[in-house]
Amino acid sequence: MTRKRLSRGASRWLGAATCAAALLLGAGHARAQAPDAAAAPPTDPHALGNHQKNVRLEIGARTQFVNSHGFDPFSTNDVLPQLSLGASFAFWKQDRLSLAAMAGFDYGGSDASLRSDKASLDVRRFTLAPEARYHLLRVLAVTARVGPTLTREAAEVQGALGTMLKTGWKFGVDATAGAALELWGYENGASGKPRLWLMGEGGYGWTAPMSLSFKPEDESSVPQRLTALDLGELSLAGPLFRITAGVSFW
Amino acid sequence: MTRLISSARALCGLSVVWLTAGCGDRPAELDVAFDAAHKEIKDPADPTRDLQVRGLTGSVALLDVNLNQVMMFTSPKPLELATTRLPVGKDVVQFETSREHDKLFVLSRGVTPRYKDTDERPQLLVFDGGTAPQQLQQVELQDPYNELEVDPQGEWLLVHGSGGLVSNPNELLLVRLGEDSGATPSLTSKTLGSYGGKPLRFTFTSALSVPGVAKRRLLVVQREKDLAIIDLSRPEDPEITVALPENKTPLDVVYHDGIDGEVNSMLGVQLDAYANVDLLTINAAESADHAFSVHPNLVDVGGVPSKLDFVQTRKDGGLRLAALVPLKQAAKLIDPSSGVAQEVPLHAAFTQIRRITNDVSEQSGEDIALLYGEATNTIAFWRLGITTGTPYHSIEAYDIGIKVGQVFDIPNDQSDEFADRKILSGTSSGTTQQFYVLDLTQQKSFPLDVLTNLTLNLSPNGRQLWAFGTDRGFAQLTFDPLQPASLYTEERIAFVHDFATAADDGSRSVMALHVLSSRGHSSVAATLFDGVNPSTAQTQFYAELELEGVK
């Protein structure tokens, strides 16, 4: 029941995040037409400056297509949707190329009927990765990121004997490439005002398999010597897409 | 620009490939809930009660009606459970086993009405009930049928009772299974000539002697006003119709192979509310249409009989048709050659007779019969034979605590060690329920008290009996020593059955099947015990069995 609420909560967060990003971007686009009076005069008005070197906070949605048989009990369409949060710090730059340290957290889940039962999966993924950025334009950069992940997977089956659980922490790796478009921000790279970004990326995510051998949540209430329900192995591996909106500072 | 468009197209194409790769491999069966299939209880002695489950020699078969599959539960070794799923066709109407419990027969109606050629046809499937379940034979039918009769000798299946808008109840499909389990069964369609009656019951006889031709088995179709007799060695031949006196309805048919030099093979027909029995003698053929002829002889037994059976009063002879007449508290012994009926007074109003000679290995040649009935607390052993002054040797009566409704034979296909035992069950007059184990050799009856009215299921190996109710307890009863052992599960019991494991070392597993409620549907679980020395402390519990084979 707790997991059900969390899963629905994640969906609501995804919707709210998307709406908030859209409103923010719409409003921001209008305001960015005025010059930044507070900005210090740049030494080179065409330098990338804070367009490139910044701290960026992101919120959005991550969608992964998981083809593992172990995922079938939890999903009718092999899609694992997640709320995606991220923070990055671009700490090094050389001409149009820059490097950022990125930390991310993805949260989501999926549930489906399992004949007479109900199966649900809750996934929380932590990512730490370097991200390479190359500015094609002042407001457009292509990005590439490869980094390790640590994922907490909580699978649950609600059936005739109550709730059966299987949880685990699994290492993995995400490799993505994409683009970041600055939607709003002062042209002057020296401006310290926030900038709004829209990021899109795609790639592949892999998480080490977890055995889906279920044990009852309350073992005292089920028959002695219960044979664990075995649903095989779950490997959250597959193509992924992420779309986020972000705001950068310096 | 062209390069940009090409790149965009390639990206879209890649996305489609990814999306396609990620979708669609979830088994559709996972979206189908499991609901336990139920049936009408026709036989109160059926241990499966109203559940569509069958106990077999090496497995337990449970119908998964929503997936049109049968789940065959086997045991690789004691306490271990394996599940094999086999398709059974849509709209299953009959789910039966052979008498030896070594085969499972499933009759399905398929898709009705069939609007497309691809719609599934009605079919009859035969499955191996051993430790390696598999489909043995398949017979596709032209029309859907509702009823299935199983030949006790395992040679024939009879399909009938089509359920179309217009149906002919006298249309029968005879399926010869044959000895080679892999062979395609032969199918004979017969439409019986009728004078208005429709089939009520069917009797497969054993091989009966017929003058001038080889022995042959007969199928006797009991209809509302007559009998239709089909020669199973030539099923395509026209049937012989035997009109019954005063259009009476037959209740039962018994048969005997006859005695050389004394009488030919015979059929005895019990008629509804009629004080006469019809004796049909199988004689030599009188026309080229049939291999035999039937000559009826009506014999008055002085009251409405409740049960008939053929008995022998001396070795290699003295054949009589015994008719129990409860109202007269007597039996009539009818000499089939003369039609003379001799009355034998009985101790009580027995309504049932069961010949048990073979079960006690009687060497004298005189038959021994067990008399019992639902109207009396008395059972009797009737030793046939003629002594001075009486047409029988002896009748030994015993009072027991129940009115016997059912007599269970101990299966002797795997072992005849306890073939001389019978299980008597019925209604008890006291507060404590009882059933009895009858030792025919020693003519002793052993009462067994039970706390509630239990369902009895005999092991296919003929060495033990399982008694269970709907609660969490059940009992094992071994015959030597006659020792009950109480066993318990942690979920309510729907069915108990023991079967051979695949280890092929004589080990067995006993399965207590549970049908649990899950989110408005059903879930299957099982507690497995050792089938030879079961113990409540040594079990293995298996849950969510409906997911086996589909997850």
Q: Indicate yes or no: CB of B525 within 8 angstroms of CB of A160.
A: yes
The answer to whether residue B234 scores a pLDDT higher than 70 is yes
Long-range contacts of B146-152 (CB under 8 A, 24+ apart): B146/B93, B146/B94, B146/B107, B146/B109, B147/B93, B147/B94, B148/B93, B148/B94, B148/B96, B148/B105, B148/B107, B148/B124, B149/B202, B149/B204, B150/B96, B150/B97, B150/B98, B150/B99, B150/B105, B151/B204, B152/B99, B152/B204
- The mean pLDDT value for B490-507 works out to 95
**A65, A75, A227 member nearest B19 (Cβ):** A65
Rounded to the nearest angstrom, the minimum Cα separation between B85 and chain A is 15
In tens, the pLDDT along B85-99 reads 999 999 999 999 999
Q: DSSP readout, B128-193?
A: E-SSS--EEEEEE-SS-EEEEEE-TTSSEEEEEEE-SSS--TTEEEEEE--S-TTSPPEEEEEE--
Nearest CA in chain B to A159: B518
To the nearest whole angstrom, how far is the Cα of A71 from the nearest Cα of chain B? 8
Per residue in B352-384, pLDDT (tens digit) is: 999 888 777 656 667 889 999 998 999 998 988
pLDDT the model gives residue A20: 47
Q: Is residue A79 within 8 Å of residue A65, measured between CB atoms?
A: yes
pLDDT band (50, 70, 90) for residue B233: very high
Tokens 């390696």 belong to which residue?
Answer: B132
- Other Cβ atoms less than 10 A from the Cβ of B363: the count is 8
- Nearest-CA distance from A208 to chain B in Å? 18
Separation CA A188–CA A1 (nearest Å): 51
Q: Please indicate whether, in this complex, the C-beta atoms of B541 and A226 are within 8 angstroms of each other.
A: yes
pLDDT reported for residue A24: 44
Better pLDDT: B416 or B502: B502
Give the closest-approach CA distance of A238 to chain B in angstroms: 8
Residue B6 pLDDT more than 60?
no
The two beta strands, B208-210 and B171-176, are: unpaired
Q: Which chain B residues are within 8 Å of A161, Cβ to Cβ?
A: 516, 525, 543-544
The answer to whether B497 and B467 are in contact (CB under 8 A) is no
Q: Which residue has the tokens 């009705």?
A: B112
The tens place of each residue's pLDDT in chain A, 250 residues long, gives 344 444 444 445 445 444 444 444 444 444 444 455 454 555 666 788 888 899 999 999 999 999 999 999 999 999 999 999 999 999 999 999 999 999 999 999 999 999 999 999 999 999 999 999 999 999 999 999 999 999 999 999 999 988 999 999 999 999 999 999 999 988 888 888 999 999 999 999 999 999 999 988 777 778 889 998 999 999 999 999 999 999 998 8
HEC secondary structure over B94-134: EEEECCCCCEEEEEECCCCCCCCCCCCCCEEEEEECCCCCC
Which pLDDT score, from 0 to 100, does residue B419 have?
84
Return the number of other C-beta atoms located less than 10 Å from residue B269's C-beta. Answer: 26
Question: Which residues of chain B from 487 to 506 reach within 8 Å of chain A, CB to CB?
Answer: 489-491
Report the predicted TM-score, pTM, of the whole model to 2 decimal places.
0.87
A114/B551 touch (CB, cutoff 8 Å), yes or no: yes
CB contact under 8 A, A225 and B543: no
Q: Does B37 touch chain A (CB under 8 A)?
A: no
pLDDT tens sequence across B56-68: 999 999 999 999 9
Q: Let me know: does A228 contact A192? Beta carbons within 8 Å.
A: no
- Decide if A220 touches B, using CB distance below 8 A: no
A237 part of contact set with chain B, CB < 8 Å: no
Q: Look at residue B432 in the predicted model and tell me its pLDDT.
A: 66
Is B34–A116 a contact, with Cβ atoms under 8 angstroms apart?
yes
Q: Other CB atoms closer than 10 Å to residue A89's CB: what's the count?
A: 15
Interface of A with B in 104-123 (CB under 8 A): 112-118
Residues of A in contact with B546 (CB under 8 A): 115-116
Look up tokens 């701290």; give the residue: A55
Res A86: pLDDT? 97
Token digits for B470? 């709907």
Q: Does A96 touch chain B (CB under 8 A)?
A: no
Of B21, B34, B542, the CB nearest to A227: B542
Number of Cβ within a 10 Å radius of residue A68: 20
Q: Which of B487, B490, B518 to mutate to test the interface with A (most CBs of A within 10 A)?
A: B518
Which of A227 and B415 is assigned the larger pLDDT? A227
CB within 8 A of B323, min separation 6: which ones? B270, B277, B301, B305, B307, B308, B331, B332, B334, B341
CA-CA distance, B297 to B320, in Å (whole number)? 14
Which residues in chain A touch residue B541, judged by CB atoms under 8 angstroms apart?
222-227
Alpha-carbon torsion (B256, B259, B262, B264), positive or negative: positive
Give residue B386's pLDDT band: very low, low, confident or very high (50, 70, 90): low
Interface membership of B527 toward A (CB under 8 Å): yes
